[in-house]
Structure 1
Amino acid sequence: MRIVIVGGGIIGAALADRLARGAGAAEVTLVERDRPGAGTSGASFAWLNANDPDDPAYHCLRVAALGAWRRLAGEFGDPAWFRIAGNTAWATADPAKELLADRVARLAALGYPAALITPDRLRELEPSLRPPAAGAVIAHYPGEGHVHGPDAVRALADRARSAGARLIGGTAATRLNLRGGRVTGVRLGTDDDLDADLTVCAAGRHSPALLATAGLGLPLVDAEAPGSPAPGLTAFTGPGPALLNGVVHSPGVDLRPVPGGGLALEAADLDDATDLATPAAALDRGAAELLDRARALIPALTAPVETVHRCVRPLPADGFPLVGPQFPGLYTAVTHSGITLGPHLADLIAADLRGGEPALAPYRPDRAAGAAAW
């Protein structure tokens, strides 16, 4: 079976790796407009978690995804780009304190590792942190972790290629090709056509433009609208001494380790102030603010910001994955939380292609009318 996957982020790379290996391996071609991991997956804060108790079924999907990451990392021999080292979070003001305590209680009731901890325990977990103000509510989630997106995507793409997958980088898929009422592949920016028995759209926030060439839509939040929540801001410091063990969510800044001793930084309010029209100078000012907040929290942090990213996330309108057949010859796989879900979705999609996967039934791209015929 000839499969063309459009999009070399975590979803596309994990799926190419999964489909190119083992019994029944397909003839896989991965198309990426830049290089694997250069887009959203490379700019993402990349926190691995199932930290939302609101929808129990989706929570279970994410819990299973954490297990898939553990298995995958084991196949790569404990790589530096993957760590399950916990997540700590705290709140210092009302109602945030009550909301955090309630979240911990609800997650614990679902059997998820979550607990409130003391300031002394926080110091044991993260000794480099300046302690929060007295009276803070502090939560710890020991089963959560982080991935360094560029390295993880590159590892998956390289393993797929070593298994026989073809990688076409530096050119976008500009349209879906149609013949006889089905998608038969894609046209590239080079004006070359790639024929396929199945085309997978895993192009993240670029997916609506590609699907529109076949008259199809996808319910994603418009990343180009002024003030859209899809774009965010992340900054990465240069290397230095290891200052954090796991992910940290503080009231002013979120942080996680980067291989080599750097830190990834983000903050909700600076995310909210970023859209596609935000000029580069404003992004740099936001990154400087992130670094100031991080240094206030970690006095030993001296490394400067090394890279600044406008991270444009694909945000499904209802918050849930969009995964499944969308037209004969076409399969779509687009989601927020792609870093958490990527390897598990690859496993589920492989099963779906073999004959249906019940776990994906709630997440079909056309939820109202049901999935289109193959």
Structure 2
Amino acid sequence: MRILVVGAGIIGAALADRLTRAERDGRSGPRDEVTVIEEREPGAGTSGTSYAWINANDPGDPAYHRFRTAAMSAWRDLAAGFGGPAWYRPAGNTTWATTEDAKGRLADRVARLADLGYAAELIGLDRLRELEPHVRAPQDALIAHYPDEGYVQGGSAARALARRARESGAGIITGHRAVRLNTEGDRVTGVRLDDGRDLDAGLTICAAGRHSPALLATAGVPLPLVDPSEPGSAAPCLVATTSTARDVLNGLVHAPGLSARQAEDGGLVLEADDLDAGVDESAAPALVRAVGAELLARARTLVPGLTADVAGVRRCVRPLPVDGYPLTGSQRPGLYTAVTHSGITLGPFLAALICQEIHGHESPALDSYRPDRVPARRR
């Protein structure tokens, strides 16, 4: 089957890698002809700019929690196949609370996660110093540790997956974008590129992240994503990176008012949810700079003696389904959609399930996440 994958973020790259697995494994039988279309380069969009936390840290929906823990296992298996790559960091996550309300919520979360069999524990300051010797938390903080969580360097991970897919026979078209879906009646037959070329396919997989609604709309196909252009939209966020600060953090740290981890180049990656208010696509450069300065100030409180400066502030536009759950499944004959907010966590696991589905074996694990459902709530 000729398959087009539109988008080479972590979802599209993982799909291309999975679809070409038979070639690597030397299995007999018909081979898929896989082509990936990416406007820039693999991992250059949201996957390469996001905080990239791999986790199943929300116990609110036990079924979705199990889905995410399976995805964490898929990452471990994938990384093993690459020989333990530097871009995969299962280094644990430490967080704490300081107010009484926040302490109650954190203690409840840890207890509920532990009841679900998830690795979650409350620790003391001495253990925090062992885990993160450069970090300082208040004496009265309630501290939790999640040893199985981690992160990836999203751009490098997507590039590695796309490169392996290419080595296994996939075509990778970069520097061009799909501007419309081509159709014959109700069937999607491929895409048109921005240079006027038409690419035909038996199946087109839309893995274009935040750009998916615009592409799908060319064939009259809706997708319930939060609009990042609306004032006050939750989709955009700002992520700062610092100059070199090697070996400052071992794993992820989620302190009140700041999330931090090591960057691939030896600096830090910094993010804070409360600073994202008003950071839409029209945000003024002065606001972006101010957010970067505040993130650095918070990092210097978290890590006393930190001398790094802000090296850059990136706007990350997340594909946010209206109800927070993945949008995965067939939407028209010849069209399959794979879009989700938690792409970093879910990418390799979704790729395996989708590969199974498009080869004729429907996956019950995806039944709750079909794109034609009526969104009920935002998570």
TM range, normalised to the smaller chain? over 0.9
**What SS class does the counterpart of residue 359 from structure 2 fall into?**
helix
What corresponds to 1:227 in structure 2? 232
CA contact (8 A) 2:224 2:321 kept: yes
What corresponds to 1:245 in structure 2? 250
Q: In the alignment, is residue 203 of structure 1 matched against residue 208 of structure 2?
A: yes
What corresponds to 1:39 in structure 2? 45
Give how far 1:263 is off: 1.2
CA distance in structure 2 between the partners assigned to 1:353 and 1:110 by the alignment: 31
- Could you tell which deviates more after superposition, 27-36 or 234-243? 234-243
Structure 1 gap segments, 5+ residues each: 370-374
Matches within 5 A, 1:38-117: 38-117=44-123
Aligned counterpart in structure 2 of residue 28 of structure 1, from 22, 34, 43: 34
CA distance in structure 1 between the partners assigned to 2:283 and 2:265 by the alignment: 30
Aligned counterpart in structure 2 of residue 335 of structure 1, from 330, 333, 340: 340
**What SS class does the counterpart of residue 12 from structure 2 fall into?**
helix
CA contact (8 A) 1:240 1:260 kept: no
CA distance in structure 2 between the partners assigned to 1:68 and 1:90 by the alignment: 28
Q: TM-score, normalised by structure 1?
A: 0.96
Q: Deviations over 1:130-154 (max 9, x none)?
A: 2x22221111000100101111111
CA distance in structure 2 between the partners assigned to 1:53 and 1:222 by the alignment: 27
CA contact (8 A) 2:134 2:248 kept: yes
Q: Deviations over 1:65-122 (max 9, x none)?
A: 1001011111111111111111000010131111111100110000000011101110
Letter in 2 for 1:63: T
Q: Deviations over 1:320-357 (max 9, x none)?
A: 00000000100000001100000110001011112211
Give how far 1:271 is off: 2.0
Percent sequence identity over aligned pairs: 63
CA contact (8 A) 1:4 1:199 kept: yes
Q: TM-score, normalised by structure 2?
A: 0.95
CA contact (8 A) 2:92 2:251 kept: yes
What corresponds to 2:275 in structure 1? 270
CA distance in structure 1 between the partners assigned to 2:295 and 2:31 by the alignment: 45
What corresponds to 2:16 in structure 1? 16
Matches within 5 A, 1:262-341: 262-341=267-346
CA distance in structure 2 between the partners assigned to 1:151 and 1:185 by the alignment: 28
Q: In the alignment, is residue 348 of structure 1 matched against residue 353 of structure 2?
A: yes
Give how far 1:368 is off: 4.7
CA distance in structure 1 between the partners assigned to 2:309 and 2:328 by the alignment: 39
Give how far 1:306 is off: 2.0
- Could you tell which deviates more after superposition, 232-241 or 87-96? 232-241
Structure 2 gap segments, 5+ residues each: none
CA distance in structure 2 between the partners assigned to 1:34 and 1:291 by the alignment: 29
Give how far 1:25 is off: 3.8
**What SS class does the counterpart of residue 272 from structure 1 fall into?**
coil
Letter in 2 for 1:154: R
**What SS class does the counterpart of residue 354 from structure 2 fall into?**
helix
Q: Deviations over 1:21-72 (max 9, x none)?
A: 2145411111111111111001100011000001111101100010010111
What corresponds to 1:372 in structure 2? none
**What SS class does the counterpart of residue 233 from structure 1 fall into?**
strand
Letter in 2 for 1:9: G
Q: Deviations over 1:233-278 (max 9, x none)?
A: 1011233321111000000210011234221110011123311111
Q: What is the aligned-residue RMSD (CA, Å)?
A: 1.3
Give how far 1:281 is off: 2.6
Letter in 1 for 2:134: S
What corresponds to 2:3 in structure 1? 3
Letter in 1 for 2:7: G
